[in-house]
Amino acid sequence: MKQFSVWLLPPKKVQAGYREIIDKFSRSLKTPEFEPHITLISSIETSEELLVEKVGNWVKDQKPVKIELTEVGVSTTFFQCVFLRVKPTVELLKAYMAVNQRLKKAESGFYMPHMSLVYGDIDVDLRFSVARKIGLKTKRFVADRVAIIKIKALSPDKWVKIAEFKLQTQ
């Protein structure tokens, strides 16, 4: 059994804009680089083949998801060091619940949809300083893809995208 994560992905043009921000701060802060995404499942332990099959079946029924970014936030956690808050719309929460139910995964804790911009263990004052420098490039977009990421370690440079599915308008 291996560990995986399931992400919603912004359109490639939107993703590229936020990737510039991530890359800029990862270079200046010496923090990890990663692909902009909104996590639906942070970690699930299963077989790769079964996960690809189940997510592939789920996306057949899942329309693209409208995303609204609301503000820049910070937290004390590594993976939510500096992030963009995502409005928890009914549409997004239904997608979150549907994929979790399809995979028979009960996420522990509270789901706070977000798109991280900086991962790391940096000083809290520096987190707020970075957050003040970030402007929202795009406030609204439609997440049109889903990715499955193999988590080989907690370091993003060890993550591998094993599948990507296009969400279809019906």
Question: For the whole model, what pTM was predicted?
Answer: 0.91
- The position carrying tokens 């990715």 is 147
pLDDT averaged over 10-residue windows placed end to end, the chain, 170 residues:
91 93 95 94 91 94 94 92 95 93 75 94 94 85 96 85 87
Q: Which long-range contacts (CB under 8 A, 24 or more apart) does 135-140 make?
A: 136/69, 136/71, 136/72, 136/84, 137/14, 137/17, 137/18, 137/21, 138/10, 138/14, 138/17, 138/18, 138/69, 139/68, 139/69, 139/70, 140/66, 140/67, 140/68, 140/69
Residue 49 is predicted with a pLDDT of: 94
* Tokens coding 53: 């099959």
Residue 109 is predicted with a pLDDT of: 65
* Tokens coding 63: 């329309």
* Tokens coding 112: 């706070």
The hierarchical CATH code for the domain 2-166 is 3.90.1140.10
In one letter, which amino acid is 7?
W
Residue 64 is predicted with a pLDDT of: 95
Domain limits of the chain?
2-166
Residue 138 is predicted with a pLDDT of: 77
In one letter, which amino acid is 17?
G
